[in-house]
Amino acid sequence: MSPQSDKHSNPKKYSISSISRRKFLGSSLALGAAGFAGYTGAFAQAAKPSTPQASRNLPAQGHYLIKNAYVLTMDPAQGEFKSADVLIRDGEIKQVGQNLSSTGAEVLDGEGKIVMPGLVETHWHMWTSLLRSMAGNVKGRGYFAVTRDVGQHYTAESMYVATKLALAEAINSGITTVHDWSHNVRNREFAEASLRALREAGIRGRYSLGMPAGQDAKPVDLQLLEKLHSRWPAYANDLLHLGLAWEGITDRLETGTKEVNIARQLGIPVSVHASSAGVISGLAKAGLLAEGMQIIHCKDATPAEIKSIVQAGAVVSLSPFSELRIGYGIPPIKELLDAGATIGLSADTTTLSGNADLFAVMKVFLNLANALDRSEFYLTAKRALEKGTIEGARSLGIANRTGSLTPGKRADLVMLSTNALNLGYVTDPSSIVVEAAQPANVHTVLIDGRILKRNYELTHLDKEEIIKDAKAEFQHLMKKSGW
């Protein structure tokens, strides 16, 4: 949904509001061996202890022993187990294996359940969640029009309510890591509101600061970016890190270069939307395409541009549902896979996709890959599942903390109950997860060792209150905007 390729959008807006949706600066933080060069400062900063009130109100990190589950670790050294246990203490995965025991642990029954890493979402405009399924029915009232025209009427409270709604859906759907690509930040209070929602949800992720949507859109507030960076522990917790949602070069090469350089000096990962052919080669020519930079959509990327992404060590985020829905066509999935690009999967925006079901995103990714190769066997379900877990974590630079059930990593995991008509029992576990599972099958969710969903119910987020607030805010925005 990069305005760059929206043939119905105002060309003058293209470089600002239109590109805003695709500018996702996603260079990754260096997290030990899993990180990317040049971003160690960002993670070091994010890892500092912080105790905002919202973080202290989260469920406690428990001492848990999951027993007798089908365990998909997504770690080649660990493999998978038809029946095994997972020991969790102090927010960390301590052991994965059979016949484990631990004095004082609460036992979680894994019988009939698949235990796997939580899903990793790599690019989501969470503020647009109030505009669910509001695009694409009438010309002139598509995605860019609704986000531009309604987005300029948002308040900080709108940002908070919208982000909270998206986060509740994420956790309910088995997503334990998100990338909030916040491209409607009109002042400091807007950023603070989104960060407050992220803290309260207790989710892992990246918050990327972007420019505001609307007719009066302005460049990213670099002073605010620097302030957030310098005082990060006051705004966030140690589950979150800061990024730059960059609008791209557009016609402001000097300014755009300055934004990227400042982000790199601060050790902040950069993410950018790139749909049209020539965008990626423009980044390379300007010397801006670099290790860890996140390139979103890549819809019209040429073979040479794909090669340049891989050679630079940049990463890719694909959102096949929204890319198909908006009419952009099919992203070059096969070419990216063949080139060995690091790929994460994205919910993008529920304004287009309707929901944030990453199980469905993995499924359509798998199906498109095989359709493009005209082969049933080109991409396996296991490889598709990697994109939604460990490879997504690699693309965000946090694979040494999450993305697989590896002892020593943080306890971000989900339990899927097979006691459902769409599952029933386990045939091939990876195929079942990618091809058959749905958010409705998510029985339990742990993030950083905290149970945030148990027995199909959110434990600390009030679903009814979140829906009530979202409905009221939506009605208020519709009245203000005249939409």
Tokens of 308: 């340049």
Same domain, residue pair 183 and 247 = yes
- Burial of 171 (C-beta count, 10 Å sphere; 0-12/13-18/19+): buried
Instruction: Please give the pLDDT value at position 422.
Output: 97
286 is a domain residue? yes
| pTM confidence score | 0.90
Q: Mean pLDDT throughout 253-259? A: 76
What one-letter code names the amino acid at 71?
V
pLDDT band of 219, cuts 50, 70, 90: confident
Four-residue CA torsion sign, 377, 346, 259, 233: negative
* Residue bearing the bigger pLDDT, 128 or 48: 128
Regarding whether 214 and 295 lie in a shared domain, the answer is yes
Instruction: Show the beta-strand stretches assigned E in 233-325.
Output: 240-246, 270-274, 294-297, 315-318
pLDDT, one tens digit per residue, over 348-357 is: 999 999 999 9
AA letter at 482: G
- Answer yes or no: is pLDDT of 24 > 60: no
Q: Which residues pair with 445 in a beta bridge?
A: 414, 453
- Two structure tokens written together for 307: 């090669």
Average pLDDT over residues 252-257: 69
Q: Are residues 175 and 108 in the same domain?
A: no
pLDDT band for position 394 (cuts 50, 70, 90)? very high
Task: Tell which of 351, 368, 395 closes a domain.
Answer: 395
Instruction: Indicate left, alpha or beta for 293 from its phi (over 0: left) and psi (-120 to 50: alpha).
Output: beta
| Residue-range definition of the domain harbouring residue 40 | 3-54+119-395
Specify whether 204 is located in the same domain as 344: yes
> How confident is the model over 84-125, as pLDDT tens digits?
999 999 999 999 999 999 999 999 999 999 999 999 999 999
- Domain shared by 86 and 161, yes or no: no
Q: Does residue 107 lie within any of the structural domains? A: yes
Q: Is residue 161 part of a domain?
A: yes
Residue bearing tokens 């974590």: 393
Sequence-distant (≥ 6) Cβ neighbours of residue 254 within 8 angstroms: none
User: Is 471 inside a domain boundary?
Assistant: no
Number of structural domains found in the chain: 2
In eight-state DSSP terms, residue 105 is P
Interval 46-53 mean pLDDT: 46
pLDDT of residue 186: 94
Pairing of strands 294-297, 92-97: unpaired
Look over the chain and give the mean of its residue pLDDT values, rounded to a whole number.
89
Residues 355 and 424 in one domain: no
Place of tokens 């805010």: 473
How far apart, in whole angstroms, are the C-alpha atoms of residue 401 and residue 34?
A: 9
Do 360 and 431 lie in one domain? The reply is no
Residues 376 and 247 in one domain: yes
Q: Residue 349: its pLDDT value, please? A: 98
Amino acid letter, residue 469 = D
Residues in CB range of 381: below 8 A, 6 or more apart = 366, 428, 430, 431, 433, 434, 435
**Does 47 share its domain with 64?**
no
Report pLDDT for 215.
59
Same domain, yes or no, for 387 and 416?
Answer: no
CATH number at residue 391: 3.20.20.140
**Residue range 122-179, pLDDT digits in tens:** 999 999 999 999 998 889 999 999 999 999 999 999 999 999 999 999 999 999 999 9
Banded pLDDT at 257 (limits 50, 70, 90): confident
10-14 CB contacts, 8 Å cutoff, 24+ apart: 13/144, 13/148, 13/215, 13/217, 14/250
Reported as a pLDDT band with limits 50, 70 and 90, residue 229 is: very high
**Is 373 domain-assigned?**
yes
Same domain, 248 and 379: yes
The reply to whether 476 falls in a domain is: no
pLDDT above 90 as % of the chain = 81
Residue 32's pLDDT band (boundaries 50, 70, 90)?
Answer: very low
Q: Which value, to the nearest 10 degrees, does the dihedral of the CA atoms of residues 269, 273, 275, 278 take?
A: -60
Nearest 5°: the CA angle 76, 82, 83 is 110
Contact present, 151 and 186 (Cβ < 8 Å): no
Residue 408: count of CB within 10 angstroms of its CB: 9
Region 173-201 average pLDDT = 98
CB atoms near residue 323 (< 10 Å): 25
Q: Please, which residues bridge with residue 124 across strands?
A: 180, 348
Q: Pairing state of beta strands 92-97 and 204-209?
A: unpaired
Tell whether 79 and 146 lie within a shared domain.
no
Q: Is 418 domain-assigned?
A: yes
82 is a domain residue: yes
